[in-house]
Chains A and B, each alone.
Chain A
Amino acid sequence: MEKLTRRTFFKAAGATAAALTSQAQALTRDVQEPAQGQAVNAGAAPAASAAPVHYIFFRPDEARFVEAAVARLIPADANGPGAVEAGVPNYIDRQLGGAWGAGERLYRSGPWQAGLAGQGYQLPFTPSELFRNSLRAVNDDLQKRRNTTFDKLPGKEQDAYLESLQTGQQSLNGVPAHTFFESLLALTIEGFFADPIYGGNKDMAAWKMIGFPGAYASYYHLVDQYGVLFTRPPISIGEDNRRTIHIMPASQEPKAIGQNPVHGTEAAHTTRKGGK
């Protein structure tokens, strides 16, 4: 049997994935290790190639920053699509525009005071307020100091600017720069790896890239096949159409377990690699 690697599987896992791969490869030519002169294009390319997105929260200037920034946080390259191709700006937009952005599950009573690092988040901002204030400050800063916008900077300068946020204590309209950066990075990673129903991880590309199968209900027959390479395409909550409802069984017959189509067919789809 042919030995599958993650990347050959990634290329073989259906038409959608194949299309994504070629898109990623096309991007790779632009983005990977850009020569000095190509750097401007490299910074702008991912946003330009993304499908049009209708934002519910971001204003155009905010969207331009977020699209360009997440493309540097998780770039498209030989390993697969980046945050923009995976729809991460769309994910962040919906999070900030929804209940979570408005402070769902966030204790919001004062008095407000800065705490120790170990006491966690102590700012009065909801996530949407935090982003709006920070983005306004970032865009004002670049406009004022350099008469430009983030998305127009060459890739390396974008990275340097993001690093200045990551390690910075400067106030972005009341938000410490590093706090904004941490929130942006956390949301970017969430959007990249969360189920596609939330608007990111388009076509489960991030899952395919690392080999995470998603919402499968069972690995009972695989867990003791040491080193097995799982090659079935991932499952999203949204695309699952088996609609399996597990009714409390009247009997203890274990054969009931085998009736679920997800079980018992792995031998045809998997091959061993490594192994013990």
Chain B
Amino acid sequence: MATRLKEVDAVMIGVGLVGTMLGRELTKAGLKVVGLERGNPQFTVPDFQGPQMHDELRYAVRKAFMQDNTKEAITFRNNVNQTALPIRRWESFLPGTGLGGAAVHWNGQTWRFQDSDFQMRTKTIQRYGQNFMDPELTVQDWGVTAAEIEPYYDRFEYLLGTSGLAGNVKGQKNPGGNPFEDARSRGYPTPPMKEPYGSAIFRKAAASLGYHPFPQPSSNLSQPYTNPEGLTMQTCMFCGYCERFACEHYAKSSPQTILLPVLLKDKNFTLKTQSHVLHINLSQDKKTATGVTYIDASGKQFEQPAKLVILCGFALNNVRMLLLSGIGQPYDPKTGEGTVGRNYAYQTMSTVQVFFDESVNINPFMRSGANGTAIADFSCDNFDHGPHKFVGGAYFGDVMTNGRPIEFHPTPPGTPAWGAAWKAAVVKHYNHTIVLNVHGSSVSTRNNYLDLDPTYKDAWGLPLLRITFDFPANDLRMSQYITGKAVEVGRAMGGRLVNGSARKGPYGITQYQTTHNTGGTVMGLDPKTSVVNKYLQSWDVPNLFVIGASNFPQNATYNPTDTVGALAYFSANAIVNQYLKSPGRPLVQA
């Protein structure tokens, strides 16, 4: 039996990036807030300190910061005709756990989506006609525009201290920045990071071909910065242990460096770690959330009643929590009806290796998670898709993050996998290779979705989430075209050998691609095709807000975190300034 606790104003499921932000906004508004985090407490001191943090085996290979598969896994299949099987060890994507969530071990790549992303369906039809998209695509508008979200991007980037070079401030184009970005109200909080050697070589080659290289916006800071919450961050040291690791230098923006210390001092906020939420509780009519039931580290169950529930875990876990709680109608791919689990999307990644002569020292280990130089000439709708028969795009560039040798020891195609020839090739190419990343969008389709697995269970006996996903033909065509463009730039970089291949199907979970899993609780204008309204309020249960990359109706070219943060502030603003004035009311009429 669950012990019933005293009711609070709001309970948050997950204390990662979004949980920390919402906790701060709601406590500032005077609410008593409880944050439930299933993982452990962890802080820069003592948990993230060097030299122990610089352990490739423990953090990158064995994935110490990630969700423990023995307790919670996810099952996967390519299509409904296959049997989904558990992902027994994470490889393709890495769901995080613990205080601060995935924003502890992210890279810090901080990109704004473009207006053509937010209005993808409308703008595609306007420019290319009604029948341009493949019929299987379920691409839809978000219900917000880039201009509407801009102030929240701005606020979030100033919380992070993001380093970058603006390409467009209030319509004024700024040479050297991303010329394709929508107007921003001011420049980045801090100037761009130093440009590493590989990025400088890429910049020169890309510019020589007429493209527009710019520094990748980064939340590994170029200089010390004090954010509006009064927290001071330090300069990134380019140590090469960023993604999958936590930062010892106070240089990577994460809840621990940008906000948590302030929130934890607030008497209105209570943090409970090792508190694993099993489900959201509903009233008899299922129209009101009454709180959550969670289980602590020793196995005791508690009911935490609350007037307002904020679901802000990792995208995949947000979807599962709604399904486990019986909220909303699960998506059925046969009929196309239902919304929860609908429009799961990912990212379409490929790489291009450029092998240089041994006299060129690339020094891949002198990097950070988010420094580098990229082009957006093939992102979003920044080029004419007419001749190509696909929607979406990719940015690419030299955005290498590390030279950690267990996982990074590039060899040219045809090299044996072991023996003296392998060893000689590793020695010959380790410090003399640049890898370009091609970071592509992912459309949503009728066939790709999330639901509960009928067979496999977690440590508490509850069904695992099931992913049904394969790369849509649209995205494979996109990858083919843009990877080809990246190979051309690679050839202009002066290496001896260039090796690149586009993403091919079928999707598999055995190799890391990205942790940009999106959709399943998508936002939108129509309750028939979305789970939450534009303010991220549940259509079915108005005192429940669901916030995260699970809100994306499809995934865009760029990395998702900046948009997750902007949406979180956008939603928090609506909760504080509209919802709390008449609690329980829908902010948008269905």
Q: Are A195 and B88 in contact (CB under 8 A)?
A: no
Chain A min CB distance to B434 (Å) = 12
Q: Is B4's beta carbon under 8 Å from chain A?
A: no
- List chain A residues, Cβ under 8 A from B430: 210-212
In the complex, identify which listed stretch (A11-19, A134-142, A144-152, A244-252) lies at the interface while the others stay far away: A244-252
Q: Is B146's beta carbon under 8 Å from chain A?
A: no
- List chain B residues, Cβ under 8 A from A52: none
Q: Are B54 and A118 in contact (CB under 8 A)?
A: no
Q: Which of A74, A100, A216 has the most CB of B within 10 A?
A: A216
Q: Is B361's beta carbon under 8 Å from chain A?
A: yes
- 0/1 string, A170-186, CB within 8 A of B gives 1: 00000000000000010
Q: Number of B residues contacting the other chain (C-beta, 8 Å)?
A: 82
With CB as the reference atom, state the residue of chain B lying closest to A230: B363
Chain A min CB distance to B266 (Å) = 19
Q: Is B419's beta carbon under 8 Å from chain A?
A: yes
Q: A185-B417, A224-B194, A248-B44 are in contact. Are A217 and B360 (CB under 8 A)?
A: no
Q: Number of A residues contacting the other chain (C-beta, 8 Å)?
A: 77
Main SS class of interface, A: loop
Chain B residues 308 to 352 lying within 8 A of chain A, measured CB to CB, are none
Q: Are A194 and B406 in contact (CB under 8 A)?
A: yes
Q: Is A235's beta carbon under 8 Å from chain B?
A: yes
Q: Are A224 and B226 in contact (CB under 8 A)?
A: no
With CB as the reference atom, state the residue of chain B lying closest to A31: B420
Q: For the complex, give the distance between the alpha carbons of A190 and B62 in Å.
A: 11
Chain B min CB distance to A7 (Å) = 9
Chain B min CB distance to A271 (Å) = 11
Q: A246-B248, A249-B234 are in contact. Are A106 and B405 (CB under 8 A)?
A: no
Chain A min CB distance to B77 (Å) = 7
Which listed residue (B224, B406, B420) contacts A189, Cβ 8 A? Answer: B406
Q: A74-B423, A249-B232 are in contact. Are A107 and B50 (CB under 8 A)?
A: no
With CB as the reference atom, state the residue of chain A lying closest to B89: A106
In the complex, identify which listed stretch (B23-31, B163-171, B388-396, B506-514) lies at the interface while the others stay far away: B506-514
Q: For the complex, give the distance between the alpha carbons of A269 and B510 in Å.
A: 41
Q: For the complex, give the distance between the alpha carbons of A105 and B89 in Å.
A: 7
In the complex, identify which listed stretch (A43-51, A60-68, A119-127) lies at the interface while the others stay far away: A119-127
- List chain A residues, Cβ under 8 A from B61: 190, 194
Q: Is B195's beta carbon under 8 Å from chain A?
A: yes
Q: Are A211 and B70 in contact (CB under 8 A)?
A: no
Q: Is A198's beta carbon under 8 Å from chain B?
A: yes
Q: For the complex, give the distance between the alpha carbons of A92 and B510 in Å.
A: 22
Q: Is B122's beta carbon under 8 Å from chain A?
A: no
- List chain B residues, Cβ under 8 A from A103: 70
Q: Is B431's beta carbon under 8 Å from chain A?
A: yes
Q: Is A129's beta carbon under 8 Å from chain B?
A: no
Q: Is B456's beta carbon under 8 Å from chain A?
A: yes
Q: Is B403's beta carbon under 8 Å from chain A?
A: yes
Chain B residues 1 to 52 lying within 8 A of chain A, measured CB to CB, are 44-45, 49-52
Chain A min CB distance to B76 (Å) = 6
- List chain B residues, Cβ under 8 A from A162: 418
Chain A min CB distance to B213 (Å) = 16
- Report B's interface with A, CB cutoff 8 A: 44-45, 49-52, 54-57, 61-63, 66, 68-70, 73, 76-78, 82-83, 85-89, 91, 194-197, 200-201, 223-226, 232, 234-240, 248-250, 357, 359-361, 363, 365-367, 403-406, 409, 417-420, 422-424, 426-427, 430-431, 455-457, 506-510
A-B CB contact pairs (8 Å), 23 listed: A77-B423, A104-B70, A106-B69, A107-B86, A113-B85, A119-B509, A120-B91, A120-B508, A207-B405, A210-B426, A213-B365, A217-B50, A217-B54, A218-B239, A219-B240, A226-B200, A237-B55, A240-B51, A244-B50, A246-B45, A273-B361, A274-B360, A276-B197
A-B contacts besides A118-B507, A254-B224, 13 pairs, CB < 8 Å: A82-B423, A103-B70, A113-B85, A120-B89, A209-B427, A210-B409, A212-B405, A217-B54, A224-B195, A226-B197, A248-B45, A257-B234, A276-B201
- Report A's interface with B, CB cutoff 8 A: 6, 32, 72-75, 77, 79-80, 82, 100, 103-109, 111, 113, 115-122, 159, 162, 166, 185, 188-190, 193-195, 198, 206-207, 209-220, 222-224, 226-230, 235, 237, 240, 244-249, 251-252, 254, 257, 273-274, 276
Leading 5 A-B pairs by shortest Cβ distance: A118-B508, A218-B237, A219-B366, A215-B54, A107-B73
